Chain A
Amino acid sequence: MPLRLLRFALSHKHPEPPMFTEHDQLGKTYDVVIIGGGGHGLAAAYYLARNHGIKNVCVLEKNYLGGGNTGRNTTIVRSNYLTPEGVAFYDRSVKLFQDLSQDFDLNLFYSTRGHFTLAHTDSAMRTMRWRAEVNKHLGVESEVVDRDFIRRMVPEMDLDCSGHSPIHGALYHKPGAVARHDAVAWGYGRGADMRGVEIFQKTEVTRIDVKHGKVRGVDTSRGYISTPKVLCAVAGSTPRITQMVGIRTPIVIQPLQACVTEPIKPWLDTIIVSGSLHVYVSQSDRGELVMGASVDPYEIHSTRSTLDFTEGLTAHMLDMFPFLSNTKVNRQWAGMADMTPDFAPIMGKTPIEGFYIDAGWGTWGFKATPVCGETMSYTVAHDQDHELIRTFRLSRFKELDLTGEKGAASVGH
């Protein structure tokens, strides 16, 4: 047993300080108020303090830290997207992720696994080739591989998928990884807290005070705060907040579900995604298979889960891995995904002065947590969109200048 654990066992007091300071009272004014204590909000707070020296900041979370989509996601990190803007953006995030455990002095269990996107049709193969070329051009490791390569790497897979959906090949992305999602939120939270940011859980923003097109403060379940700058990082609750300031967006909320099996002996060390079969899977350190599919087929603002989902998902899992037929599903859950029509996020300044948005993260925003924190903190500090996020601005819709990331993001992960 490690000595640290022994210290816990023998000590009467809790020998490890808590991750965050508990503040009794909300302050009266802050330079920046961040709504949402998920990974994105906490990362923005961390980089505001660390990179820009802005420390009079609070993060308001209506439930507990990381309890939104951050703590519900299947933690796939990758950068093999389709548009050059998307690839550059996600690649920056993967690079930040790789150093994050060091940065935080906290083990994120960041585990580089290699990521396969399977192609079951000629047209899917064409998209894979296109993605591989864009990726390589931007220096991202990504290549189209054939059945033999897949067979060597994943010998357990039935490459013919019971005969009705044979796999032609795949896009292989070596840096594809998984990480411990809670730890990402906690690491950013602790880092921000250490630098003077105040974090409040169980504190809900109920109104945003806007006068003459400018933010002046927020009403919360624990009183009023005055502030010139508000960053909205609330994923599935985004339309409720944008409604408070009268901004219209294309965001539609659809649940995204996931589930895990009972722990089994380690056999799958890569991440497997199939767009045609609507399935993605990896095996956790505990041996559970972590699985997800596409979003539910219509708008719902709750996190209920359904039998339809597990039935559909497990049927497709068995097409690929028939030997799992006796493996049991242990838990299932859902998050509210904030979907956009072009499968790209909405980030940056808005028509309201001092109101910044980091949303539209749908089913793919965990991997972007570090880069969102970095670029949004810059945007808030300088009141100017960071160059990596200009393509994701809210005004792209009225300018009819959409981003078009569907080919690489439509199966949620």
Chain B
Amino acid sequence: MKLLTCPINGTRPLQEFTWGGEFREMPDPEQATDEEWADYVFNRSGAPGVKKEWWHHTASGVWFIAERDTERDIVLRTYLYTGKMSDD
């Protein structure tokens, strides 16, 4: 069974979680051009690598960040979103 560690609820079976897609910085909607906005909404860094992504613990409703190697499918760490991602 595959496991994932929720920062609040601890290690749980993967079936309890939903993938929320790659974490992306939202541009300022007031400032962004239409093209920048469409890029944010649709485009993804599709190539393999270690990525930051949103995960949702479905039972408790906790959203958090996982850093995962998308080629080997190995989770390196998980933590709660603090609002500043680009500095760490």
Residues on A facing B (Cβ under 8 Å): 238-240, 242-243, 248-253, 297-302, 304, 308, 338, 341, 397-400
Contacts and interface: CB of A to CB of B under 8 A. Distances in A.
25 contacts: A239-B45, A239-B47, A239-B48, A242-B46, A243-B46, A248-B45, A250-B43, A251-B44, A251-B46, A252-B44, A253-B70, A298-B19, A298-B53, A299-B19, A299-B53, A299-B70, A300-B71, A301-B70, A338-B46, A397-B38, A397-B43, A398-B34, A398-B39, A398-B42, A400-B38
Given A249-B46, A308-B15, A398-B42, 10 more contacts: A238-B46, A239-B46, A240-B48, A242-B46, A251-B46, A297-B18, A299-B53, A397-B43, A398-B39, A399-B38
B19 A248 contact: no
A398 B38 contact: yes
B70 A243 contact: no
Nearest to B55: A298
A248 B43 contact: yes
A304 B73 contact: yes
Contacts of B15: 308
Contact of B35 (A301, A304, A398): A398
A253 B48 CA distance: 9
Contacts of A253: 46, 48, 70
B19 A341 contact: no
A341 B38 CA distance: 12
Binding site of A, secondary structure by majority: helix, strand, loop or mixed? loop
Given A398-B34, A398-B35, A398-B38, A301 B43 contact: no
Interface centre among A249, A252, A298, A300 (most CB of B within 10 A): A298
Nearest to A359: B46
B34 to A, nearest CB: 7
Contacts of B46: 238-239, 242-243, 249, 251-253, 338
Interface of B: 15, 18-19, 21-22, 34-35, 38-39, 42-48, 51, 53, 70-73
A398 B44 CA distance: 13
B26 to A, nearest CB: 16
Contacts of B48: 239-240, 253, 301
Contacts of A242: 46
Nearest to A338: B46
A252 B45 CA distance: 8
A243 B45 CA distance: 8
Contacts of B51: 299
Contacts of B44: 249-252
The 7 closest A-B pairs by CB, nearest first: A239-B46, A298-B19, A301-B48, A248-B43, A250-B42, A239-B47, A398-B38
Contacts of A338: 46
A341 B42 CA distance: 8
Nearest to A238: B46
A240 B48 CA distance: 8
Contacts of A299: 19, 22, 51, 53, 70
Nearest to A253: B46
Contacts of B18: 297
A127 to B, nearest CB: 24
